[in-house]
């Protein structure tokens, strides 16, 4: 595995691989790798001949007062895990190289997809995500890029951008990887105290209960949301940012539950903010 920080060197390596007919699979991350990231890498290993991992804590997707400075980092450990997944190239650029002082170009996915949920709670977040993913695609030149359904809206935004800009990249969504007790894996879980972590299990319980209510025939979103809100708010540290039932493709709220319904939530437990989601009726699609 080669570790490359230089953008031009990375692009040249990828352009050469493409010219040689090698299929490039790409997994963009912010590092502090866990099993969720590794599941993407393992799938990427199967799908591509050159497997590229990027680790870049992207400043433009963090808002004022968010956790950019404290975001967990451990490159030595990430390097070991990447080697174990047979990553070929680890791209590790500096923020000043991705965004030099005269940097002026941003990618904005407009419209209802970004106006809601994370986009409404974190203004500018998806502008930062779309910009860095577009830049990484131009640098890495992937044939296929893998993203987790953990960031459900991000995946939808990346798919929209890729289609709108006619980028020749296949976007693959991968299922959420959870701890054995149900907590969705996240680099940010290290922020949770033992007590907050215990309380955070209410999210997986709420998702399971929502699925159960839907399986029992409840179709009114309001009834399900009221029940789940009570479950989550029974935890003293919990503060709900949003809790919604939306159509999986449009992300618009649904009054009635159907096969396209996804439950999406963001909840603070003390300072840490966790997101999670899951389908209510149709478990067949990963996202």
Compute the distance between CA of residue 249 and CA of residue 243 in angstroms, rounded to an integer.
17
Nearest approach in angstroms of CB 95 to ligand AMP is 15
Coil, strand or helix at 98: helix
Question: 138 is written with which tokens?
Answer: 């131009």
Kindly indicate which of the ranges 42-50, 148-156, 253-261, 269-277 contains the residues binding ligand AMP, using the contact rule CB under 6 A: 148-156
Kindly indicate which of the ranges 2-10, 35-43, 109-117, 134-142 contains the residues binding ligand AMP, using the contact rule CB under 6 A: 35-43
Q: Does 272 bind ligand AMP (CB under 6 A)?
A: no
- The 155-194 site mask, x for binding ligand AMP (CB under 6 A), equals -------------------x-xx------xxxx-------
Question: Nearest CA to 40 among 151, 119, 148?
Answer: 148
Coil, strand or helix at 51: strand
Nearest approach in angstroms of CB 190 to ligand AMP is 12
Q: Does 14 bind ligand AMP (CB under 6 A)?
A: no
Compute the distance between CA of residue 159 and CA of residue 155 in angstroms, rounded to an integer.
6
Compute the distance between CA of residue 281 and CA of residue 261 in angstroms, rounded to an integer.
7
Annotated catalytic residue 34: no
Compute the distance between CA of residue 92 and CA of residue 103 in angstroms, rounded to an integer.
19
**Chosen residue from 148, 272, 278, 279 binding ligand AMP by CB under 6 A:** 148
**Chosen residue from 17, 26, 29, 237 binding ligand AMP by CB under 6 A:** 29
Q: Does 30 bind ligand AMP (CB under 6 A)?
A: yes
Compute the distance between CA of residue 65 and CA of residue 24 in angstroms, rounded to an integer.
36
Given the residues 34, 37, 125, 143, select the one marked as catalytic: 37
| 40, 145 Cβ separation under 8 angstroms | no
- The 38-67 site mask, x for binding ligand AMP (CB under 6 A), equals -xx---------------------------
Nearest approach in angstroms of CB 40 to ligand AMP is 6
Beta pairing partners, 27: 53
Compute the distance between CA of residue 212 and CA of residue 218 in angstroms, rounded to an integer.
9
Compute the distance between CA of residue 36 and CA of residue 150 in angstroms, rounded to an integer.
9
| Residues acting as catalytic residues | 37
Residues found near ligand AMP in the complex (CB under 6 A)? 29-30, 36-37, 39-40, 147-148, 150-151, 174, 176-177, 184-187
């Amino acid at each position: 595995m080669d570790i490359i920080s230089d953008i031009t060197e990375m692009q040249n390596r990828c352009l050469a691989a493409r010219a040689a007919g090698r299929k490039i699979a790409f997994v963009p991350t912010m590092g502090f790798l866990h099993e969720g990231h590794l599941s993407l890498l393992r799938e990427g290993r199967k799908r591509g001949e050159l497997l590229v991992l990027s680790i870049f804590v992207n400043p433009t997707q963090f808002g004022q007062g968010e956790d950019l400075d404290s975001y967990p980092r451990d490159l030595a450990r990430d390097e070991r895990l990447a080697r174990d997944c047979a990553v070929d190239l680890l791209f590790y650029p500096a923020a000043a190289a991705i965004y030099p002082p005269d940097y002026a170009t941003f990618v904005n996915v407009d419209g209802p997809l970004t106006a809601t949920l994370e986009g409404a709670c974190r203004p500018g977040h998806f502008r930062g995500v779309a910009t860095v993913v577009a830049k990484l695609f131009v640098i890495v030149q992937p044939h296929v890029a893998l993203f987790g359904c953990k960031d459900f809206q991000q995946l939808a935004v990346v798919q929209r951008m890729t289609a709108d800009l006619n980028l020749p990249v296949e976007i693959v969504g991968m299922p959420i990887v959870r701890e054995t007790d149900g907590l969705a894996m996240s680099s940010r879980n290290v922020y949770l105290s033992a007590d907050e972590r215990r309380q955070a299990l209410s999210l997986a319980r709420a998702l399971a209960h929502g699925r159960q209510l839907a399986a029992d025939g409840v179709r009114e979103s309001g009834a399900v949301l009221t029940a789940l809100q009570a479950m989550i708010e029974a935890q003293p540290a919990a503060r709900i940012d949003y809790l919604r039932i939306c159509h999986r493709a449009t992300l618009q709220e649904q009054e009635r539950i159907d096969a396209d319904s996804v439950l999406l939530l963001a909840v603070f437990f003390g300072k840490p903010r966790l997101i999670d989601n899951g389908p209510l009726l149709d478990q067949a699609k990963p996202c």
